[in-house]
Amino acid sequence: MEIQPEPTLIVFARYNKWANQQALSICMNLDEALLTANIEGTVGSIRQTFGHILCAEAGFLQRIHGTHPKPDFEWNENPDVAQMAAYAAQLGDVFLETVQHIAPTENVHEENEVWSFDYQARLIFMSLIYHGIAHRTDITSFLSSQGVSSPELDIWGYQEAYPEQFRAKLVKLADN
């Protein structure tokens, strides 16, 4: 059966990939001390937070497909930001493909020795977006507290980067 992909899910998958890449590109110029500094009340350091984001995205894909792309590095070898950015791009591409070919209402089944859990794929799609936003916000808030400016990674920043996707057109009506 051919599914009609949900256009908003496609935009959200593109947004998530873009936001990950933007955040990672900011961090490519940071020194190691800033990348490994503990961020109170979060997963840990910037490096640990990106690892957490990407491992979660791989896990989301594992839940839907039973497999996921493997990184070209070992996590215990402390990959650099460029390696994580390459893996994030790969995961982003697979998620974009996934939301175009898996119906949001498709059943996802998980079980182990003590429980069985069935739910719709849309729960994973929503988790992808929420989880990424929450942890990228941890990173950008910390960077801001350290005097490092970053671009807007919210939906409005994405719209500004890709106005054609939203048919956005800003017209100045008066000089102020």
Collapsed DSSP state (helix, strand, coil) of residue 78:
coil
In whole angstroms, what is the distance from residue 133 CA to residue 19 CA? 8
pLDDT band (50, 70, 90) for residue 169? confident
143 band by pLDDT with thresholds 50, 70 and 90: very high
Fold observed for domain 7-166: Four Helix Bundle (Hemerythrin (Met), subunit A) (1.20.120)
Decide: helix, strand or coil at residue 34.
helix
CB 89 within 8 A of CB 99: no
CA distance 60 to 66: 10
Q: Where are the domains of the chain?
A: 7-166
Q: Is 27:20 a contact under the CB 8 Å cutoff? A: no
What is the pTM (predicted TM-score) of this model? 0.92
pLDDT tens, residue by residue, 83-128: 999 999 999 999 999 999 999 999 999 999 999 999 999 999 999 9
pLDDT band at 58 (very low <50, low <70, confident <90, very high): very high
Rounded to 5 degrees, what angle do the CA atoms 93, 94, 96 make? 65
